[in-house]
């Protein structure tokens, strides 16, 4: 397959997308803060703190190559289902002919109490890395970009240890929706 021009990813209803590009992320973060604190007029300082924290997170994700950030606003039985996804494009190798296969990448990522596997997605093989750093459970899915030595990295996380297995199942499902756009 030739190198795609873009990708498409589906997230569940109730997730909020933040474009990490400077100039647009500020508007997205402000909209998210307004949505989260709608109807809470007596706590403007909490809204401002949340906005600043999320803006710092978005800026750091962008500095690390992040393209977009998704934040779960879903609830279950009135409780928030805290989860996030950062989509990052890792740069291609300096030499176009150098391609790191998913199997080779998986070998370099093994260890440190990580569960590393090579999985099959509709877009091809990918490296799946699940880790737990209390209280946060993380799932990284690294997918080679066709026609390139770059990888698209889907970094999911949740601080909800009791629901981690269920949320990781949802993360796997989201990763399975990835499609390349020519």
CATH number at residue 14: 3.40.1000
What the block records as the tokens of 65 is: 């190559």
Contact yes or no for 137/123 (Cβ under 8 A):
no
Whole domain around residue 116: which residue ranges? 6-181
Helix, strand, coil shares of the chain, percent, nearest 5, are 30, 35, 35
φ and ψ at 158, to 5 degrees? -150, 140
Domain count across the chain: 1
Q: Is residue 1 part of a domain?
A: no
d(CA 175, CA 74): 18
What mean pLDDT value characterizes the chain? 91
97-117: per-residue pLDDT in tens? 667 899 999 999 998 789 999
2-53: per-residue pLDDT in tens? 889 999 999 999 999 999 999 999 999 999 988 887 766 666 788 888 889 9
Q: Is residue 102 part of a domain?
A: yes
Tokens 């391609």 sit at which residue? 99
What the block records as the tokens of 16 is: 């909020």
Residue 162 CA to chain centroid, in angstroms? 20
d(CA 21, CA 32): 16
Q: Specify which residues 118 forms β-bridges with.
A: 127
Q: Is residue 62 part of a domain?
A: yes
Q: Is residue 113 part of a domain?
A: yes
d(CA 97, CA 106): 20
Q: Is residue 65 part of a domain?
A: yes
Q: Is residue 81 part of a domain?
A: yes
Q: Is residue 11 part of a domain?
A: yes
pLDDT for 80: 87
Length of the chain in terms of residues written: 182
């Amino acid at each position: 397959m030739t190198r795609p021009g873009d990708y498409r990813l589906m997230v569940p209803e109730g997730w909020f997308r933040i474009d990490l590009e400077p100039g647009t992320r500020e508007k997205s973060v402000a909209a998210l803060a307004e949505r989260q604190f709608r109807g809470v007029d007596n706590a403007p300082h909490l809204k401002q703190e949340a906005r600043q924290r999320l803006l710092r997170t978005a800026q750091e994700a962008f500095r690390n190559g992040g393209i977009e950030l998704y934040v779960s606003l879903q609830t279950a039985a009135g409780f928030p289902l805290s989860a996030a996804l950062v989509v990052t494009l890792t740069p291609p190798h300096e030499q176009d002919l150098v391609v790191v296969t998913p199997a080779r990448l998986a070998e370099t990522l093994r260890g440190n109490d990580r569960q590393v596997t090579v999985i099959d997605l509709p877009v091809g093989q990918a490296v799946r890395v699940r880790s737990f750093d209390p209280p946060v459970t993380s799932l990284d899915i690294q997918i080679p970009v066709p026609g390139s030595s770059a990888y698209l990295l889907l970094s999911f996380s949740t601080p909800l240890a009791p629901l981690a297995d269920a949320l990781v199942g949802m993360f796997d499902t989201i990763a399975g929706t990835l499609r390349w756009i020519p």
